[in-house]
Each structure stands twice: as structure tokens, then as C-alpha cells.
Amino acid sequence: MHESQIIKYYAEEISKKLKEPEWALRLRLKAAELYEKVPSPPWMPKDFDLEAFASKAASEEFVKPGEGEIPEWYRKILERIGVPEIEQSMLAGVTVMVNENIVFEAQKKDLERRGVILKSMDEAVREHEDIVKSFLHKVQTPDTHKLAALHVALRRGGTFVYVPKGVKVPFPAQAFFVITKEQLAQTEHTLIIADEKSSLHFIEGCIVPIPAPYSMHLGGSEFYALKGARLRVSSLQNWMGNVIHTPVKGALVEEGARLEELGVSMGGTIIGMRPRIRLVGEKARVSFNNVAMLKKEMKSWSGGSVTMEAPRTYANVVNRTVMLDNSFDEFLGEIYVKRGAKEVKGYQACNTLMLSDVAVNITIPKLISEVSDAELAHEGTVGKIGEEQVFYLRQMGFDEHEATQLLTIGFIDPLVEDLPSDYVRAIREIVKMTLGAS
């Protein structure tokens, strides 16, 4: 059987299981066909078993872990990190649904009162066709590469958020996902739409280490900031174990709207994530920050692509990576200014902190402009911890290890400081644990 046929088979199975409307199935089938035509991303697993992945994604059932299913050693880690309160309640089994983004119940009610639609993605496709149909896979498209096509074809689970016009959500909405040992293939999709002049901060993922055996996480997300909206999305992941984390992400920002995206990656073995962000309206702004901590044999393909399609748009992309052991990172940062996009400003920075002599970092800036007056800049730095700073801290009484910890946390801090404080604390503890006991 051809690859596309294999995918089609499972795509139909999923669509049927979810009782999807016809248009949703057509999206899947089109993506299945594209799979054979589009290139592989550089992070495509070498021994990727398409049939095994597709059948897992189609057949696995979502389960709730029982009360006593959190092992003792894992609880100890959680205690040390100081789990954000909201994640604690999740672990206590209050609102856990595996393989789906879950929102804290109390928050859910508050959001609903404000008119925010918050549903599982699968439900939304059935129940909010009118909205979903015009956004789903419009900015996260299947033609990017094979894994993007595969995600679209096998999409299952995930979260749908719609903030109506003018509604401003005053607290960060937080959603989580978990996988248990039974689940090896994940394809959940997060679709967030901030309608005109609305505002939302959405935190997704999980900063507590998520134990998982070999598995592949091929989630996807799409963020839409419509005219004048302000959307912040913070995505956190800290997989423990042999996890391939290759989410496919896209975002679109309209006139006068603002998107602030933060990604924090602390775990996994292969990370492939290059979001595609389109600024389509005048004065649309995006700030995309990414923090990664790579250790052992981890391989990461980071960066992203921002397309500036309208005048006076603004993009600011900052990547900060801490590299240990034998890790590898290739950053590809692309800013593409389209004809007609006058007076745009695009800035990107890739800063790498090397805590190993054998880790490998490659930084590739790509600034393309079709107009003459674009202001584009790239800054790339690769460096060790400053000797002067280490000495300064040592002569205050901190030993070398403590000094390295403090400075490594300091390297990351400017990008994560705006998160709720318990998340910042948890991230710091994870950095400390990764650098080893003092």
C-alpha cells in the first residue's frame, strides 16, 4: 500500500470515530494525499514507522489515570520542583483527561460566563462548525512538510478556544495534557481564536516532568489574533524519557493585533519545532520567545518563520538555548518581508549558552526582503558562562556550581519572567535539577 493510502485509511477511521462533518474529513484526505508530495522536515525520525504511528493515533483510547497511578519517585520530583498549584490539582485527579488539554474546572466556568467558548477540539468540530471551519488548518497547513501533513490527516483531541469580540480575559487560562504509558502517538490540535479587540493569555502544556516511554508527540496549534486583539500563548513541555516532540504550529496576526508567544522546552530526545507566523494586517506585531534546555543526546531543530505581509508590521524573535553534554541544536530563523509591506521592523536573536565542550550549535539566519525600506536584524551569540561573572559570585561566597546555576537561570529569566510566578519558580528548579545537585 502507498503511504498516502495508509494514512487515508486511518484518517477515515478517526473521522468516523469522531462523527465529523464531511468538510473535516476532506481536510484529512487532502493532507493524506499531500504526504507523499511534500518534503520531510530535517527532524523526521530516521526509522519512522508510518503504519505503526497512524494505527496508534487512530486506535488509542483516552483514559483517566487512577488515583494511585502517580509513582512515588515521581511525586518526589514534583515536590522538589514545587508544582504550580493548578498542576497539583490536576495531578490529584480533579480534572484529568489524558491526551486532551484540560482546563481547570473553576476557570472553565469563569471563562464560560464571559462568553469564551472552550471545548475539546473534537467537540468543537462538530458543534461550532461555523467558526472552526474557517480557521482549522488555515495557518497550520499540511503542505509545509510530511509531519505537518500527517498531523492534519490524523488530528485527534486537543483544545478549542474562542474569545468573542471585545472580551478581555483578565487571568491566564491554563490547560494541560498528560500521557500515560499506554499512549505512544499523539496528534492533538490546539486552535485559539482571539476575535477583534479581545485579549487572552493561554498557558498550555505542563512544566512538571511528564514521564513517558518512547512516544511521538505530533501535536499542532493555530493561534489567530484578529483585528486589534492581544493574544499571549505560553507553551511549556518537559517530557521525561524517550519522547519525540515535533509540534506543527502556525499563527496569524491581523491589523493592529498583537501576538506574544513563549515556548519553553525542557525535555524529550528530539525536538522539531519551527512555527510559521504570518503578519497580515497593518501594524500587526509578534513577539516570539523560545527557551530550551538541551542535555544528553537531545537533538533540536529550533527557530521559526515570520512572514511580514503588511505595512508597519513588527516582529521580534528571541531564542535562548542552554546546551549540555552531547546535545545538538540547529536554529533557522527566517523573516520574510513581502512586496508592499512598507516600513516593517524585524529583529531576531539566537543566544546559546554552552555548558559543554562537545555540544554542537548551528545558527542560520535568513532575512529576505522584497521591499527596500525594511529594517531587519539578526544577532547570534554562542558563549560559555562568563569567567568574570563566576568569579564575582564566588568572591561573594557561592561555589562554582552555585554560580553556574545562578547565571544559567539568569540567562533564561528575561524570557520567562512574565509567566505566573509559580511557573517561573518551577522552571528555575528544573534548570537546577538539570545542572545536577549542588
Partner 1 sequence: MSTDNGLKVVDLWVKVENKEILKGVNIHVPKGELHVLMGPNGAGKSTLAMTLAGYPKYKIVNGDILLDGESIKDLPPEERARKGLAVLLQHPPELEGVRVVELLNKLIERYGSNTSPQELLQKVGLSPSMLYRYFNVGFSGGERKRLELARILAMKPKIVVMDEPDSGVDIESLKYIAKNIEDMIVNNIGVLVITHYRNILRYITPKRVHIMVDGKIVLSGGPELVERVEKEGYSGVVKRA
Nearer to partner 1, 235 or 351 (CB): 351
CB of 348 to partner 1, least distance (A): 19
Phi, psi torsion values for 24, nearest 5 degrees: -70, -40
Spatial CA neighbour of 238 closest among 301, 295, 174: 295
Stretch that binds partner 1, among 163-171, 304-312, 323-331, 409-417 (CB under 8 A): 409-417
Q: At its nearest, how many Å lie between partner 1 and the CB of residue 409?
A: 7
**Is 410 a residue that touches partner 1 (CB under 8 A)?**
yes
Under 8 Å CB-to-CB from 31, ≥6 apart: which residues?
Answer: 7, 11, 137, 142, 149, 150, 152, 153
Q: Provide the minimum distance between the beta carbon of 109 and partner 1 in the complex, in angstroms, as a whole number.
A: 34
For the record, the C-alpha cell of 277 comes out as 507566523
- From residue 150 to residue 189, the character string flagging contacts with partner 1 as x (rule: CB under 8 A) and all else as - is ----------------------------------------
Identify the DSSP state of 438: -
Q: What single string gives the DSSP state of each residue in 277-322?
A: EEE-STT-EEEEEEEEEE-TT-EEEEEEEEEE-STT-EEEEEEEEE
Please tell me the distance from the alpha carbon of residue 322 to that of residue 324, in angstroms, as a whole number. Answer: 7
Name the CA dihedral angle for 19, 25, 28, 34, rounded to a multiple of 10 degrees.
160
Give the range of 60-68, 177-185, 360-368, 407-415 binding partner 1 by CB under 8 A. 407-415
Q: Which is nearer to partner 1, 61 or 387 (CB)?
A: 387
Among 411, 426, 434, 435, the residue binding partner 1 under the rule CB under 8 A is 411
Q: Does the footprint of partner 1 cover residue 269 (CB under 8 A)?
A: no
Quick one: which of 207, 293, 393, 435 contacts partner 1 (CB under 8 A)? 393
Considering the rule CB under 8 A, would residue 399 count as an interface residue with partner 1?
yes
Bridge partner list, 162: 117, 193
Binding region for partner 1 (CB under 8 A) out of 157-165, 228-236, 296-304, 398-406: 398-406
Question: What is the enclosing helix (H) or strand (E) of 346?
Answer: strand 345-354
The answer to the question of residue 407 lying near partner 1 (CB under 8 A) is yes
Residues 6 or more apart from 90 whose CB is under 8 A from it?
96, 102, 104, 176, 178
Q: In the complex with partner 1, which residue's Cβ is closer, 216 or 403?
A: 403
**In this chain, which of 61, 395, 421, 437 binds partner 1, going by CB under 8 A?**
395
d(CA 200, CA 206): 19
Q: Which is nearer to partner 1, 372 or 395 (CB)?
A: 395
Minimum distance of partner 1 from residue 411's CB (angstroms): 6
Strand bridging mode 230-237 / 345-354? unpaired
Which of 269, 389 has the CB closer to partner 1? 389
CB 134 → partner 1: shortest distance, Å? Answer: 42
Helix (H, G, I), strand (E, B) or coil at 436: coil
The rounded distance, in Å, linking the Cα atoms of 168 and 209 is 31
8 Å CB contact between 338 and 313: no
* Dihedral of alpha carbons 112, 203, 277, 38, sign: negative
Give least dist CB 390 to partner 1, A: 10
Return the residues of window 369-388 that contact partner 1 according to CB under 8 A: 386, 388
How far does the chain reach from its first CA to its final CA, in angstroms?
A: 55
Kindly state the smallest distance separating residue 434's Cβ from partner 1, in Å. Answer: 16
Q: How many residues bind partner 1 (CB under 8 A)?
A: 21
**Binding test (CB under 8 A) with partner 1, winner from 389, 420, 422, 433:** 389
Q: Dihedrals φ, ψ of 302, to 5°? A: -115, -175
Residue 197 Cβ, how far from partner 1 at the closest point, in Å?
31
Query: In the complex, which residues of this chain contact partner 1 (CB under 8 A)?
Result: 386, 388-389, 391-400, 406-407, 409-414
